[in-house]
A and B are shown apart, each in its own frame.
Chain A
Amino acid sequence: MEHAEAVDTLAIERYLLEEMTQEERESFEEHFFSCPECAEDARAAVQMTEGVRSGLARDTAGATAADHGVVVPFRPAPVRWRTSVALPWAAAALLAVGLVYQTAAGPMSARHDPDSFALTPATLRPASRGQEAVLSPGPGGIVTLAVDLGGAQFDHDIRYELARADGKTIASGDAPTPASGAPLLLMLPATTLKGSEQFVLTLHNPGAPGLTPTTYRFRLRAP
């Protein structure tokens, strides 16, 4: 594909809208990998679409509770070509470093020496199993949840919603689906959880709105 043709036919838009034949797609890819102008356009398109897929375009104010750092989803670091389901849990433990970074640098304003910060995640299991966790805030007043997905199926992302027992939503957002067998890690400042004893975390699969959401119930231990 020549540059003029790419511009005249709105090639990047057709590519994003999945309107190209396989031949056209390959031809356009060959072009934008070699054409600096189209490459920059393609890179902007990647940022835009990935941002939208992350839920950044949904809130008119441009920021969701999650973006403010009220809830910080995290997942374990990648293990290439992994075959073991045990590895994601080990990787989850290593993730503590990443959590510390976010905690220290993020808007939650917790300040800790990354070398001495310890996380004490509490495992949440689906409410269908009849379990209700009782949690205590960890260092820095942070509650770290290790959410057992319990075999629930999610496509690319998990949409989570944290609500009080009365149904009032505290925070919500989207997180990439963790590795098979690994928990979804959520960090919350304990101050977020004040005002109610019982909380309900609901996980939705945005790719399959018809599926029943998975719910989790927990309480915060009284100080």
Chain B
Amino acid sequence: MSRLPRYEFDRAYVERLTAGDPETERHFTRYFGDLLSLKLRSRLRSREQIEDARQETFIRVLTALRRGGGVKVAGALGAFVNSVCNNVVLEMYRSGSRALPLEEDFDAADESQPSIDTAIAAGEDRARVRAALAGLPPKERELLTWLFFEGRDKDEICRDLQVDRNYLRVLLHRAKNRFRERFEREETE
């Protein structure tokens, strides 16, 4: 994720996107790609399903824009993307075997992989992410590892740290803010 300016999506942006401006499309897919990943991770089991849903969402949004539909007010672009994604996920659920909700047993054949372009772009960010993580205090790094790498039970983590769930949120909040600060600093250095 390159640090991108905060976007209040305006009519000019939507017009550029509709016209197929490459730079705007690139921004659009990276900006919403991250948000869609976050949203879809809690709904779909495999990375391929997530990637499929992301691509399908982008295609539908861009198609709708180019057909003159979808967004009447530029500021509603985000809401429109979210809404389209909801539909895509519902359709994937209905399609059965290719898209399983979280509660189902995992389809071990995770067919996910990034495209080469995506992999290269991801590689560019990887060093900054790694540096930002390396800059965190060891305790915060350990907490993040427990939560998101090892997938440890959160109550167990709370017991180990002798904190309650409210304070666990605070610890995560601090780690996330410190990560964000360092990640953004990495970009400017």
Residues A80 and B55 in contact, CB atoms below 8 Å apart: yes
State whether the Cβ of A67 lies closer than 8 Å to any Cβ in chain B: yes
User: Which B residue's beta carbon lies closest to that of A97?
Assistant: B116
A85 to nearest B CB, angstroms? 9
Interface string of B152-177 (1 = CB under 8 A from A): 00100000000001001110110110
State whether the Cβ of B67 lies closer than 8 Å to any Cβ in chain A: no
Q: By the criterion of a CB under 8 Å from any partner CB, how many residues of chain A are at the interface? A: 70
Which residues of B approach A to under 8 Å, CB–CB?
1, 6-8, 31-32, 34-35, 37-39, 42, 46-48, 51-52, 55, 75-76, 78-79, 81-82, 98, 106, 108-116, 119-120, 123, 125-126, 129-136, 138, 141, 144-145, 147-151, 154, 165, 168-170, 172-173, 175-176, 179-180, 183
User: Which B residue's beta carbon lies closest to that of A38?
Assistant: B35
Residues A51 and B130 in contact, CB atoms below 8 Å apart: yes
Residues A154 and B110 in contact, CB atoms below 8 Å apart: yes
Residues B154 and A17 in contact, CB atoms below 8 Å apart: yes
Q: What B residues does A34 contact at CB under 8 A?
A: 75-76, 78-79, 82
By Cβ-Cβ distance, the 6 closest A-B pairs, closest first, are A62-B134, A180-B109, A51-B129, A44-B180, A33-B78, A33-B82
Q: What A residues does B106 contact at CB under 8 A?
A: 155, 207
Q: What A residues does B115 contact at CB under 8 A?
A: 77-78
The docked-state distance in angstroms from the alpha carbon of A25 to that of B148 is 19
Q: What A residues does B112 contact at CB under 8 A?
A: 78, 156, 176-177, 179
Q: What A residues does B48 contact at CB under 8 A?
A: 78, 179
